[in-house]
Homo-oligomer: A and B are copies of this chain.
């Protein structure tokens, strides 16, 4: 299968639904993925941080990916997260995803050891690329130091691009630090660079970036996609203000539990609120105050009001 080139637009790190005994729920996962694509998501970054992917075993990720493909979701829409602490698991997940035709992979550096050398991180990515040894492999580097505590430096990006220019094609910057995103955009215009939050979407696009891969895309794909579509139009600033406002409310709660609470209400399925430890679900009181805050903004999942 040939892919359609680099990803662009609004990608969603898809929430992973669990059953009460904490096993994954492939049917609910497939349904949510299909809904996101129907709402206009340009791609699904399954198995990201928002997906609680590192709380899953390798086998569980493989099974979820296969459920999605079996349900007819195109691999051309998929950017699975495949980076783990373990070289063995990262190679296994990456090789499997490429073989299934996934258009790109979002790759964390190994994140157990801290303060590791640039040589060590370069070797981590290089080993995976060399072992997978598939010309279809397209890697998007995943920079999320607030969670991984292992940053991807400018110099590391430069070395990877020099050695694997056909393979390393993009980056997601979830540092939350616009000055870093700007440095990547300016330093590596050949990369498809995604902001890790829609708050930076307009700025990212104005500086030649590819779009955003954002947690809140799980509940507001239409709104965020609307800014992507109209970013050169007069209403762009107003659209940015609107989606940033919604994000600000959601992120005043613990992000993943809040998104799952919103999804639970939308799908009228309280199991959607379940998270795996070490995360904890939103309690009823906080769930209600989240709902109230979103109601005050006239926002609910699936009914984006293009009020501008």
Smallest CB–CB gap between A205 and chain B, Å?
Answer: 30
Interface string of A107-123 (1 = CB under 8 A from B): 00111111011011101
Cβ contacts under 8 Å, A148 to chain B:
112
Stoichiometry (number of copies): 2
Given the known interface contacts A58-B57, A147-B114, the answer about A280 and B87 at a Cβ–Cβ threshold of 8 Å is no
Cβ of A305 within 8 Å of any chain B Cβ, yes or no, is no
Residues from 124 to 154 in A contacting B, C-beta threshold 8 Å: 124, 127, 146-150
A85 to B150, CA, bound (A): 15
**CB < 8 Å: which of B114, B124, B146, B150 contacts A146?**
B114
Cβ contacts under 8 Å, A113 to chain B:
54, 147, 278-279
Cβ contacts under 8 Å, A289 to chain B:
none
A121 to B276, CA, bound (A): 11
Contact indicator A110/B55 (Cβ below 8 Å): yes
Cβ contacts under 8 Å, A59 to chain B:
88
Contact indicator B116/A279 (Cβ below 8 Å): yes
Cβ of A292 within 8 Å of any chain B Cβ, yes or no, is no
Q: Write 27 A-B pairs (CB below 8 A) sorted by A numbering.
A: A54-B85, A54-B110, A55-B85, A56-B86, A57-B58, A57-B88, A57-B92, A59-B88, A85-B85, A87-B276, A109-B278, A113-B147, A113-B279, A114-B147, A114-B149, A116-B278, A117-B280, A119-B280, A120-B277, A120-B278, A120-B280, A121-B278, A123-B277, A123-B278, A127-B277, A149-B149, A150-B278
